[in-house]
């Protein structure tokens, strides 16, 4: 496997986090829009759930790519942790607007908070794994 190809562990993490995002944030969107009735809350939940599933998969893969292509340092950490997430959240807001979600801010508040936390923690994990693999390579 080359250094840019995903390993089985990375694939399992992407699937786990993506399905978890669908259930968590899709459910939240139904709740956040429930006062509008099921005819509004269910489409908002499905929209947010699918957006969260797909965006989590793309986001994680994009973070891996950004991290691999930049030199070690604060800029790599920040670009990995903030760049893909910001782009993803802006796209989500546009899709919610186009699909008619009535409470876009309320619907997206948890994904915004969790999205940035997840991305920064994931970037820190990539940094830690890279350091550990470099330390292991030196020992060998």
- pLDDT tens for 18-49 read 999 999 989 999 998 999 899 989 999 999 89
Q: Give the per-residue pLDDT at 83.
A: 92
Query: Is residue 32, in this structure, part of any structural domain at all?
Result: yes
Query: Is residue 111, in this structure, part of any structural domain at all?
Result: yes
Query: Is residue 1, in this structure, part of any structural domain at all?
Result: no
Query: Can you give the three-state secondary structure of 21-45, one letter per residue?
Result: HHHHHHHHHHHHCHHHCHHHHHHHH
The structure tokens listed for 89 are 């959240």
Q: Which structural domain range is residue 89 located in?
A: 8-139
Question: Is the distance from CB of 106 to CB of 34 less than 8 angstroms?
Answer: no
Q: Give the per-residue pLDDT at 99.
A: 86
Query: Is residue 134, in this structure, part of any structural domain at all?
Result: yes
Query: Is residue 53, in this structure, part of any structural domain at all?
Result: yes
d(CA 128, CA 74) in angstroms, rounded, equals: 13
Query: Is residue 82, in this structure, part of any structural domain at all?
Result: yes
> Taking the model in full, what pTM does it have?
0.69
Query: Is residue 55, in this structure, part of any structural domain at all?
Result: yes
Q: Give the per-residue pLDDT at 2.
A: 47
pLDDT beyond 90 at 59 = no
Q: List pLDDT tens digits, range 75-92.
A: 999 999 999 989 888 988
Query: How many domains does the chain divide into?
Result: 1
């Amino acid at each position: 496997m080359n250094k840019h190809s995903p390993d089985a562990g990375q694939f399992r993490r992407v699937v786990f986090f993506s399905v978890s995002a669908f259930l968590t944030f899709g459910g939240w969107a139904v709740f956040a829009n429930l006062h509008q009735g099921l005819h509004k809350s269910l489409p908002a939940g499905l929209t947010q759930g699918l957006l969260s599933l797909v965006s989590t998969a793309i986001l994680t893969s994009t973070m891996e790519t950004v991290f691999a292509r930049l030199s070690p340092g604060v800029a790599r950490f920040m670009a990995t942790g903030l760049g893909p997430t910001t782009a993803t959240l802006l796209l989500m807001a546009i899709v919610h607007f186009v699909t008619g979600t009535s409470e876009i801010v309320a619907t997206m508040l948890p994904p915004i908070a969790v999205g940035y936390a997840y991305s920064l923690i994931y970037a820190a994990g990539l940094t830690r794994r890279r350091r550990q693999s470099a330390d292991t390579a030196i020992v060998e």
